[in-house]
Amino acid sequence: MIVCPNCSARQLDGTIFCIECGADLINAGPPESTRELNVSAIESHDPLPVSGPLPAGEPQSAPMVTLVVVSSRRRIEVDLSDEALIGRADPTRGIIPDIDLGPFGGYDAGVSRRHAILSYRDGTYRVEDLGSANGTFVNGRQIEPMRATPLQHGDEIMCGTLLLRLEIRNRQR
Amino acid sequence: MAPGIHLQQTLSRTTLAVGDEPQLIYVLLEAHAEGLVQQLPQLPLNLCLVIDRSSSMRGERLTQVKDAAARIVDQLGPDDYFSLVVFNDRADVVIPAQRAIKKADLKAAIAQIDAAGGTEMAQGMALALQEVQRPFLTRGISRIILLTDGRTYGDESRCVEIARRGQSRGIGLTALGIGTEWNEDLLETMTASENSRAQYITTAQDVVKVFADEVKRLHAIFAQQVQLSVETRPGALLRSLDQVRPFIAPITIVEEAERRWAANLGDWPDTGVQGFLLEVVVPPLPVGDHPVLKLTLRYHLPGANLRDQTRELLVRVSLRPAEEVAYHVDATVKHWLERLVAYRLQASAWKHAAEGRFEEASERLQMAGTRMLNVGDAALAQTLQQEATRILRNGTVSEEGRKRIRFGTRGLIGPVASDERETTT
């Protein structure tokens, strides 16, 4: 059995595209070396707040946002005390982005290893494309590379063809 | 070499690792004419054109359609039959079924058509079926070509019923939709049968080419009533069978007997490749070489007066200890599967959308976009992306986007690129 990295559906060995969601199970996965990389990336990815619960009782000092991967409805919790790199992990090149879209079908969707930067400063959330191969889009509009574009709650950020929705957690105080 | 059909198989994997679980393989079955079928006499064609002449056809559309119809007359030979039916709120036989001999008269009649009124398709279809059944052909190809740019209201089920009646008598239907207003559900339902298909014509300028291509294709038919039967070894299962070349079409498979499936594949022209993709579940097997499927193609070659010709193909896999097996998937199989997956994803997107599950619909469209991007259709990938976003925001898609997606993922936006043989081998 293979488990689809995108939607977790169980598939017969030898399946090339997931029957449920259509994700590529070869580049994302099965008995090739890439799968080991991806699996380990998912499992050992603690430094990053992938769906980690909010620390209880902590004052809402750290700007927390959630990126919802629309295709799988998975939620990625992000701490933006510091800038966060959006990309695809490539341990052989030493690229470990803060927000690794590899496990969410990033390779298929054309997410670059170093795709964009998500940041929070002076009360404003921003995204900046790092000259990625397939571009970054905010609400369907391609943003200029190397220029931080302000974001609001509910905005759709598309990296390559992977659609994310920004949810700003503590926007109401 | 005697004329016939050549079969070729490509497996996603030919060597599988031994294990306790069933495994999936994909079999690409490709067929093309062999042995000088071009020397067989051309089969007579019995063609009925059904043209929508509602007021929305006025102007360039009707001009191009009339031009295209006149060119069809030029393409026909003295053994071919031609008839022409037009419809708006009512239907008229402009040219009763006759041999295409007095071509100047036929063209003069075509030139008289003008546009007015509404769209009532069933009347037109009923008259067309009547005309196309007039000539008595001992052998040949009977087809209705329907062109419309609008929605018919209230008589949809009658349209489907008439189309089915024709199909059950071997009369295929090619339904062409032009513009963005026509009802793609209706045309797809009417053409959900062998020897039939719906196609999307995005601009009037394409009409002449689409008509001419269709007549050329019909003239090239050499094999009729092609049937495929698939027998599996015990424990194996045929999970799906779809046509992938020259365009994508789901195929009805019937389990005729235990472990034996059958499908009707219609008439085939000798111009290109017919490609089919089978998904087969292989049960756990010991080390060794094992036959998994027996494919039998049965067909008539009316031009050579040969009936019930058969070709067989045995599909085998080799089982090896896991450590000796490198996981490798054939790129050609993956390519056609990827197109098919995009088509299936969009189909499931419309289902989700109809149930009000717009997020799921959007995901499916988006993934279909990724698939189309990978197979190299960036324009369609972009349309899919746009509509995925639109459906998420508004809960709807655009008429044009939906048509482009439905017909584009199948490869049925006309003129359809010719799918010639050299691309396979």
Over the stretch B80-94, which tens digit does the pLDDT of each residue have? 999 999 999 999 999
B344, HSE (Cβ side, Cα atoms, 13 Å):
19
Neighbours of B56 (CB within 10 A): 21
Rounded distance between C-alpha atoms, residue B267 and residue B170, angstroms: 10
Contacts of B65 (CB under 8 A, 6+ apart): B51, B57, B147, B204, B207
> What is the structure's pLDDT at A109?
85
Rounded distance between C-alpha atoms, residue B204 and residue B219, angstroms: 24
Containing A120, the helix (H) or strand (E) segment is: strand A114-121
Beta bridge partners of B323: none
Chain segment A96-135, per-residue pLDDT in tens: 899 999 888 888 888 988 999 999 988 899 999 998 888 9
How many beta-carbon pairs under 8 angstroms link A with B?
A: 83
Please give the average per-residue pLDDT across B392-397, as a whole number.
Answer: 89
Mutate which of A161, A162, A165, A166 to test chain B, going by most B C-beta atoms within 10 A? A161
pLDDT band at A63 (very low <50, low <70, confident <90, very high): confident
> What is the structure's pLDDT at B418?
54
Please give the average per-residue pLDDT across B164-175, as a whole number.
Answer: 94
Kindly state the percentage of chain A with pLDDT values over 70.
Answer: 77
Contact yes or no for A60/A94 (Cβ under 8 A):
no
Please give the average per-residue pLDDT across A37-57, as a whole number.
Answer: 36
- The interface residues of chain B toward chain A in range 270-309, judged by CB-CB distance below 8 A, are 281-282
Contact yes or no for A28/A108 (Cβ under 8 A):
yes
Nearest to A13 among B19, B374, B392 (CB): B19
Q: What is the DSSP letter of B80?
A: -
B166, HSE (Cβ side, Cα atoms, 13 Å):
34
Contact yes or no for B296/B229 (Cβ under 8 A):
yes
Nearest to B334 among A16, A22, A70 (CB): A16
CA B27 to chain centre: 20
| Minimal C-alpha gap between A61 and chain B (Å) | 32
Residues of chain B contacting residue A21, judged by C-beta atoms under 8 Å apart: 363-364, 367
Residues of chain A contacting residue B282, judged by C-beta atoms under 8 Å apart: 14
Q: At residue A40, does pLDDT exceed 50?
A: no
Nearest to B359 among A17, A26, A73 (CB): A73
Contact yes or no for B379/A90 (Cβ under 8 A):
no
> What is the structure's pLDDT at B19?
92
CB contact under 8 A, B16 and A163: no
Predicted-assembly ipTM surpassing the 0.90 threshold = no
Q: Which residues of A lie closer than 8 Å to B, measured between beta carbons?
A: 1, 11-17, 21-24, 26, 30-32, 70-73, 105, 108-110, 140, 156, 158, 161, 163
Q: At residue B330, does pLDDT exceed 50?
A: yes
The chain-wide mean pLDDT, for chain B, equals: 92
Rounded distance between C-alpha atoms, residue A127 and residue B165, angstroms: 59
Per DSSP, chain A holds a count of helices (H) and strands (E) of 1, 13
Kindly state the percentage of chain B with pLDDT values over 70.
Answer: 98
Both ends of chain B: CA-CA distance in Å?
20
* Strands of the B81-87 sheet, one edge to the other: B91-99, B81-87, B45-52, B141-148, B172-178, B197-201, B413-414
Angle between helices B121-132 and B156-168 (to 10 degrees): 20
Neighbours of A30 (CB within 10 A): 19
CB contact under 8 A, A14 and B386: no
Please give the average per-residue pLDDT across B200-207, as a whole number.
Answer: 91
> What is the structure's pLDDT at B92?
96
